Amino acid sequence: MTRFAAPIAEAIWDMKYRFRQADDTPLDKSVEDTWRRIARATAEAEAEPDVWEERFYGALEDFKFLPAGRITAGAGTARNVTLFNCFVMGTIPDSMAGIFDMLKEAALTMQQGGGIGYDFSTIRPRGADVLGVAADASGPLSFMDVWDAMCRTIMSAGSRRGAMMATMRCDHPDIEDFIAAKSDPARLRMFNMSVLVTDAFMEAVKADGSWELQFGGKVYHTVQARDLWNTIMQATYDYAEPGVIFIDRINEANNLSYCETIAATNPCGEQPLPPYGACLLGSINMARLVSDPFGEGAALDEAALADLVAVAVRMMDNVVDVSKFPLPEQRAEAQAKRRIGLGVTGLADALLMLGLRYGSEEAARQTERWLHAIARAAYLASAQLAREKGAFPLFDREAYLSGGLVQHLDEDVKAAIAEHGVRNALLTSIAPTGTISLYAGNVSSGIEPVFAYSYTRKVLQKDGSRTEEEVVDYAVQMWRDRFGDAALPEYFVNAQTLAPTDHVRMQAAAQKWVDSSISKTINCPEDIGFDDFKTVYMMAYETGCKGCTTYRPNDVTGSVLSVSEAADVAPGETRGDGVADGGEVIYMSEPLERPQTLEGVTYKLKWPDSEHAIYLTVNDIVMGGRRRPFEVFINSKNMEHFAWTVALTRMISAVFRRGGDVSFVVEELKAVFDPRGGAWMNGKYIPSILAAIGGVIERHMIAIGFIDGEGAGLKSDPQAGVVNLNAPRGMPCPSCGQYEMRMIEGCMTCASCGHSKCG
């Protein structure tokens, strides 16, 4: 009997979380092995590890508690990766040397798999004097381009590109350039971007007052606050960025306001963090805790919830001690405050099982009650941990009890904290759960509504045939299991049919009992009026949200699946029940098989100023009478090159083996530039050693007749063969090629394979 509720769940586990040897041999024979691996690793910090291993296993079993992907994939593997999801880098100094020191730290963090946030408000504006060099500053946006290029180059652990968040204060002189940056569809693609909006600015917007843009005590410009607000809103309306972070509210509501100031968040916004701040994530699967779903006695087992939360808090607290960290400053910050981010997923499914319409006042009240119960159980568990193991090192009883969420906790919880302290300074957060929700049987993601109740997933097999499987929302499958083909009740609503104000209502209800923040996307219809769109953000501010992220289909980021209310559905459209038809993409599900022997060529590449040469071997396979590149090997005696050459070898070979026109790899490599400078080779400037490798592969492709000449490679990855070209589609998934990308919890996520830039 399989533990997986759906084929896609097992596929996600196999692709993303199953522990394998370097040669791809699975070490986790089953998902039970994965749960056991995580439980054993997190119990290592306990005085009685055997006892807690069993408790932790029980929490993980049947997907009740879902540690975030970093923990699920990395715990117990001995890999050099961090189990923490979220980092905010140190304050960026306003100096060239300091800026590039920060770039190095960011690269090291991203190499281990962390998502990173930065505040670029500390860099002087474009045109400001640079003392000592008789020059004008290039401004923060120019350095953001360098960060963006770095992120494109470095592949995060777990075969996922790093995600980044850039913030800038609403009073920085370059704020208008920051707001407009992503109007260019090719610029800053590795960043999510948000404006740090202050209470003073919001009051100026309401009063239609003036607003000073300043840096270092110097006023550069004065604008009308409402004009600047409209500029932010117009950019978000047109291309979904920047988001808005209500930074004063975040700092005022912070349990640690007495010892830290926050100016940035992690990439999806659910973790506002101080310089070098780090946090780990995990989610309670609410859908698994409902008894008698859709029945008269349908209820969420709150006793089981409280017990599960307590075990989850203990497990996550142990991760602080067993995890690796990219930087010593991050370890010190994490251990001084012991932040954890326990959240939920499957909330919309749980509401459906109780017969509640997501977005209604009743659903919002129920959500608030559940999140209150989770906060209560989490803080009580952390107080008991403090009694057993000690409070977090920076705990100040009087200051802690009088600030943040703590002052609103139940009296007995505050009494426990007053007596014992608390182990974890902050405990709750609602993170993006797109991939782990698929892994748990396609439960609804985080506190988001159900996006689509079912859709068809199509995969091209090695023999040329296509398989087709229906992917069904967890609650919908429960309904079918109980009532067969009976029509779904009217309270079954999805992200497309909800009013934006319903989304805000749910976010605000959850935020009351979340001490960090919430990753949520407020879906807006394409035809929403601009004034109505602005109202969404003002409502979010007035109802106590810490930030706001919307998604309206647009020309820059593309559209997502839309819901049609029409009874008749044209090919490629979507029925009113959220079932998508047509518009498929087909792709290879398995790589090409490797013959016993291959022919190849080895090239010697000598990079100027490098002591050792790089040797690059390209082996080819003959298919259909045509020779094509199949794998590469990159070797050097320079041990500083070892990690990235191995990574590049594996990644390029993986792309080559999937078939199709892979010449885009050449163009991607040739576009990489090194911020330290390139080199002149054979009379031509090469921007980086990676670009030089791309040039070698390009020459090989020309020599074997795979491409016609220099510069003749594809400029981008075609991903897949597309059928039904007239169907309305958004962006293809960069991992599997399916047109199933959806804006969920502030991040574009693929419903077909689980790929997400953010997690």
Residues annotated catalytic, as ranges: 266, 268, 270
Is 68 in contact with 431 (CB distance < 8 Å)? yes
Count the Cβ atoms, other than its own, within 10 Å of residue 520.
29
Beta strands in 240-335 (DSSP E): 243-246, 264-265, 272-273, 278-279, 281-285, 290-291, 299-300
SS3 category, 554: strand
DSSP run (H or E) holding 21 = none
CA-to-CA distance for 467 and 232, rounded, in angstroms? 45
CA-to-CA distance for 599 and 488, rounded, in angstroms? 59
Q: Who's near 252: CB < 8 A, 6+ residues apart?
A: none
**Token pair recorded at residue 699:** 């020459």
CA-to-CA distance for 544 and 249, rounded, in angstroms? 8
CA-to-CA distance for 351 and 478, rounded, in angstroms? 13
CA-to-CA distance for 748 and 733, rounded, in angstroms? 9
CA-to-CA distance for 418 and 400, rounded, in angstroms? 9
CA distances from 134 to 75, 100, 127, 128, 130 (A): 52, 20, 12, 11, 6
Count the Cβ atoms, other than its own, within 10 Å of residue 593.
8
Tracing tokens 């094509």 back to the chain, one arrives at 628
| Angle (nearest 5°) at CA 745 between 735 and 229 | 120
Q: Who's near 85: CB < 8 A, 6+ residues apart?
A: 68, 69, 70, 114, 115, 266, 271, 279, 280, 281, 341, 431, 759
Is 85 in contact with 280 (CB distance < 8 Å)? yes
Is 83 in contact with 319 (CB distance < 8 Å)? yes
* Side-chain-side CA neighbours of residue 690 (13 Å): 22
Please report the sign of the dihedral spanned by the C-alpha atoms of residue 325, residue 745, residue 185, residue 119.
negative
Q: Who's near 368: CB < 8 A, 6+ residues apart?
A: 509, 510, 512, 513
Is 394 in contact with 335 (CB distance < 8 Å)? no
Q: Who's near 86: CB < 8 A, 6+ residues apart?
A: 114, 115, 117, 266, 267, 270, 271, 273, 277, 278, 279, 280, 281, 341
Beta strands in 181-295 (DSSP E): 191-197, 210-215, 218-224, 243-246, 264-265, 272-273, 278-279, 281-285, 290-291
| Angle (nearest 5°) at CA 141 between 138 and 147 | 110
The helices-and-strands tally (H runs, E runs) of the chain is 23, 33
Q: At 426, phi and psi to the nearest 5? A: -130, 145
